[in-house]
């Protein structure tokens, strides 16, 4: 009897637990429905392996393509001088091993911060693990529930998310519309602090913020102005420091954010401003305080890139003139390129996500990788091919791009 009991109990337990498994809902079941819904709207994003190649090219599934989908505007990602600098630093270790606040701040970090401050013409600079973390952490350190943030409608997600997370009142003004911003500022007297945030070169539209007007409004309404120079660093201005330099903006109301991940060809973010501003971020910005510092070889690579920006202005000069040529050529082929495009980011408006993906696939068949940008990255109806030019493409790449648009595809 006892033997029967011992065998019977586990049997019953197994049956009951498998019954339970089949009847208790899996809390992750909704994921498949949501993914299927994205799929039917052509909004699902696949993952692919991309291998970087020399000359502005890459390899996908064993096939060599021109890469017009990255942000390596000056070709520093594979530059031998930049790589050698990273390799040298690698001898001292790979990672920083701790957050900068604890023990992660090495001489590589200190030197790079010093170099970035000189580059941007500010008293000080502070590094962050990414550009996203720089924007997000800075905004949250500057404003809270008694304050208000004014945000351009086309700003990068890191600015929008930082503003939302800060608990400050959040006002979005139409893209580059200074009258609308002024109207909002006029209504903001009751708030403790005001902060205007803007991209300087807009990442999906390739156009430029009116920084002089923004600064003048900031000064008039005693507002702070955060300018995200992510895509402008290395490209604009006589010294290549960005659009604040190009538009000759100097003001105590302005603080600049940048990334090391685009034209600088490495990784990480930085903020450049007064010493007290950087001290405040050092003490309060949680995205730096609670995150491991940048890997030292990355800091060394970024320093080498900064030097090249200084000594090789022909790279950015070529890039600007190549961009003008591409815009003119594509417009003459009747592709829709918005007004105001200036610099390496060239959006070609293609309407629906379906059409955008179709065109992107056609380009890929012709040997060109161009990003298909769809909602939620851009508003509904504004899907686009986002061409990004690099110095590494050279004349041959530019010619291949223009020809592919002319010969193999037609505007909607
Ligand atoms: C305008 C802008 N700001 C910030 C970021 C974030 O920079 P990072 O890639 O270094 O995190 C990006 C990235 O695409 C960007 O486009």
For 265-288, write each residue's pLDDT tens digit.
Answer: 999 999 999 999 999 999 999 999
Contact 265, 77 (CB under 8 A): yes
Report whether pLDDT(24) > 80: no
The mean pLDDT of 126-154, rounded to a whole number, is 98
Model pLDDT, residue 368? 97
Q: Give the separation between CA 265 and CA 114, rounded to whole angstroms.
A: 19
Contact 216, 247 (CB under 8 A): no
The predicted-structure confidence for 333-389, as pLDDT tens digits, reads as follows: 999 999 999 999 999 999 999 999 999 999 999 999 999 999 988 989 999 999 999
Report the separation in Å between the CA atom of 164 and the middle of ligand 1, taken as the mean of its atom positions.
Answer: 17
Q: Which of 131, 228, 343 to mutate to test the pocket of ligand 1 (most atoms within 8 A of CB)?
A: 131
Report whether pLDDT(1) > 80: no
| Cα 246–Cα 112–Cα 293 angle in degrees, nearest 5 | 120
Report whether pLDDT(391) > 60: yes
Q: How many domains are there within the chain?
A: 2
Report the separation in Å between the CA atom of 353 and the middle of ligand 1, taken as the mean of its atom positions.
Answer: 23
Place of tokens 């270790």: 93
Shared domain check, 92 and 102: yes
**pLDDT tier, 23 (very low <50, low <70, confident <90, very high otherwise):** low
**pLDDT tier, 4 (very low <50, low <70, confident <90, very high otherwise):** low
| Residue 17 domain-assigned (yes or no) | no
Q: Give the separation between CA 356 and CA 348, rounded to whole angstroms.
A: 9
**216 exposure class (CB count in 10 Å sphere: 0-12, 13-18, 19+):** middle
Report the separation in Å between the CA atom of 72 and the middle of ligand 1, taken as the mean of its atom positions.
Answer: 13
Report whether pLDDT(312) > 70: yes
Range of the domain at 56: 51-71+313-408
Shared domain check, 317 and 241: no
Residue 186 neighbours by CB under 8 Å, 6+ apart:
221
Q: How does DSSP classify residue 292? A: B
Dihedral Cα 195, 200, 201, 207, nearest 10 deg: 80
Report the separation in Å between the CA atom of 93 and the middle of ligand 1, taken as the mean of its atom positions.
Answer: 27
Shared domain check, 57 and 129: no
**pLDDT tier, 412 (very low <50, low <70, confident <90, very high otherwise):** low
Instruction: Mark which of 311, 340, 369 sits at the end of a domain.
Output: 311
Model pLDDT, residue 17? 59
Report the separation in Å between the CA atom of 259 and the middle of ligand 1, taken as the mean of its atom positions.
Answer: 7
For the chain, give the percent of residues with pLDDT over 70: 94
Shared domain check, 289 and 151: yes
Q: Whose CA is nearest to atom 8 of ligand 1?
A: 131
**Protein residues whose CB sits closer than 6 Å to any atom of ligand 1:** 130-132, 135, 156, 158, 199, 203, 228, 230-231, 259, 261, 269
Residue 173's DSSP bridge partners are 152
| Residue 15 domain-assigned (yes or no) | no
Model pLDDT, residue 43? 83
Report whether pLDDT(238) > 60: yes
Shared domain check, 235 and 134: yes
Instruction: Mark which of 282, 311, 340 sits at the end of a domain.
Output: 311
Shared domain check, 321 and 285: no
| Residue 325 domain-assigned (yes or no) | yes
Shared domain check, 387 and 273: no
Instruction: Mark which of 255, 288, 311 sits at the end of a domain.
Output: 311
The mean pLDDT of 30-36, rounded to a whole number, is 93
Q: Give the separation between CA 337 and CA 206, rounded to whole angstroms.
A: 10
| Residue 38 domain-assigned (yes or no) | no
Neighbours of 359 (CB within 10 A): 25
Report whether pLDDT(257) > 90: yes
User: Does a cis peptide bond (omega within 30 degrees of 0) precede residue 376?
Assistant: yes
Model pLDDT, residue 2? 53
| Residue 28 domain-assigned (yes or no) | no
Model pLDDT, residue 407? 83
Ligand 1 atom with least separation from CA of 156: 1
Q: Give the separation between CA 411 and CA 406, rounded to whole angstroms.
A: 10
Shared domain check, 208 and 349: no
* Averaged pLDDT of the chain: 94
Model pLDDT, residue 11? 55
Residue 237 neighbours by CB under 8 Å, 6+ apart:
243, 244, 245, 246
Contact 260, 62 (CB under 8 A): no
The mean pLDDT of 77-99, rounded to a whole number, is 97
Residue 235 neighbours by CB under 8 Å, 6+ apart:
73, 74, 201, 242, 263, 316, 319, 320, 343, 344
Shared domain check, 213 and 84: yes
Report the separation in Å between the CA atom of 252 and the middle of ligand 1, taken as the mean of its atom positions.
Answer: 24
Residue 349's DSSP bridge partners are 336, 384
What b-and-e string marks burial along 234-245, b requiring 16 or more CB atoms within 10 Å of the CB? bbbbeebbbbbb
Shared domain check, 325 and 224: no
For residues 6 and 297, the model is more confident at 297
Q: Which of 261, 266, 347 to mutate to test the pocket of ligand 1 (most atoms within 8 A of CB)?
A: 261
Q: How far is CA 194 from CA 136, 283, 286, in A?
A: 16, 21, 21
| Residue 22 domain-assigned (yes or no) | no
The mean pLDDT of 298-316, rounded to a whole number, is 98
Q: Whose CA is nearest to atom 3 of ligand 1?
A: 230
CATH of the domain at 299: 3.40.640.10
The predicted-structure confidence for 240-249, as pLDDT tens digits, reads as follows: 999 999 999 9
Q: Among 120, 126, 68, 82, which residue's Cα sits nearest to residue 294?
A: 126
CATH of the domain at 381: 3.90.1150.10
Model pLDDT, residue 10? 56
| Residue 336 domain-assigned (yes or no) | yes
Contact 290, 99 (CB under 8 A): yes
Shared domain check, 287 and 156: yes
- Token output for 145: 């529930």
- Among 12-16, 284-288, 329-333, where is mean pLDDT lowest? 12-16
Q: Give the separation between CA 194 and CA 147, rounded to whole angstroms.
A: 6
- Token output for 362: 């056609």
Ligand 1 atom with least separation from CA of 158: 4
Shared domain check, 254 and 161: yes
Q: Which of 230, 257, 268, 302 to mutate to test the pocket of ligand 1 (most atoms within 8 A of CB)?
A: 230
Report the separation in Å between the CA atom of 25 and the middle of ligand 1, taken as the mean of its atom positions.
Answer: 39
Report whether pLDDT(251) > 80: yes
Report the separation in Å between the CA atom of 165 and the middle of ligand 1, taken as the mean of its atom positions.
Answer: 17
**pLDDT tier, 41 (very low <50, low <70, confident <90, very high otherwise):** confident
The mean pLDDT of 281-305, rounded to a whole number, is 98
């Amino acid at each position: 009897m006892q033997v029967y009991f011992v065998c019977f109990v586990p049997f019953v337990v197994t049956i009951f637990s498998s019954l339970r498994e089949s009847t208790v809902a899996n809390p992750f079941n909704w994921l498949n429905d949501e993914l299927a819904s994205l799929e039917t709207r052509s909004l699902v994003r696949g993952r692919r392996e991309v291998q970087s190649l020399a000359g502005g090219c890459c390899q996908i599934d064993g096939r060599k393509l021109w890469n017009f989908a990255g942000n390596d505007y000056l070709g520093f990602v594979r530059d031998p001088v930049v790589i050698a600098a990273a390799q040298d630093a690698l001898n001292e270790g790979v990672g920083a091993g701790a957050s900068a606040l604890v023990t992660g701040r090495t001489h590589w970090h200190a030197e790079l911060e010093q170099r970035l401050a000189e580059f941007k013409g500010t008293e000080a600079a502070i590094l962050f693990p990414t550009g996203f973390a720089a924007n997000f952490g800075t905004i949250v350190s500057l404003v809270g529930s008694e304050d208000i943030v004014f945000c351009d409608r086309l700003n990068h997600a890191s600015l929008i998310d930082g503003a939302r997370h800060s608990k400050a009142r959040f006002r979005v003004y139409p893209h580059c519309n200074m009258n609308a911003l002024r109207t909002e500022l006029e209504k903001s007297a009751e708030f403790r602090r005001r902060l205007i945030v803007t991209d300087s070169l807009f990442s999906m539209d390739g156009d430029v913020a009116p920084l002089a007007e923004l600064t003048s409004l900031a000064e008039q309404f005693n507002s702070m102005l955060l300018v995200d120079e992510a895509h402008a660093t290395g490209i604009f201005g006589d010294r290549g420091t960005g659009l604040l330099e190009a538009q000759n903006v100097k003001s105590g109301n302005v603080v600049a954010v940048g990334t090391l991940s685009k034209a600088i060809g490495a990784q990480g973010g930085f903020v450049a401003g007064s010493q007290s501003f950087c001290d405040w971020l050092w003490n309060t910005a949680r995205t730096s305080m609670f995150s491991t510092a940048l890997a030292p070889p990355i800091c060394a690579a970024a320093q080498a890139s900064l030097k090249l920006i200084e000594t090789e202005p022909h790279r950015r000069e070529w890039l600007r003139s190549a961009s003008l040529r591409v815009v003119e050529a594509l417009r003459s082929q009747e592709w829709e390129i918005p007004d105001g495009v200036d610099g390496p980011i060239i959006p070609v408006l293609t309407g629906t996500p379906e059409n955008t993906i179709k065109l992107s696939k056609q380009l890929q068949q012709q040997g060109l990788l161009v990003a298909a940008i769809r909602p939620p990255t851009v508003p509904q109806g504004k899907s686009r091919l986002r061409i990004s030019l690099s110095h590494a493409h050279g004349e041959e790449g530019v010619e291949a791009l223009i020809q592919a648009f002319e010969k193999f595809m037609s505007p909607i």
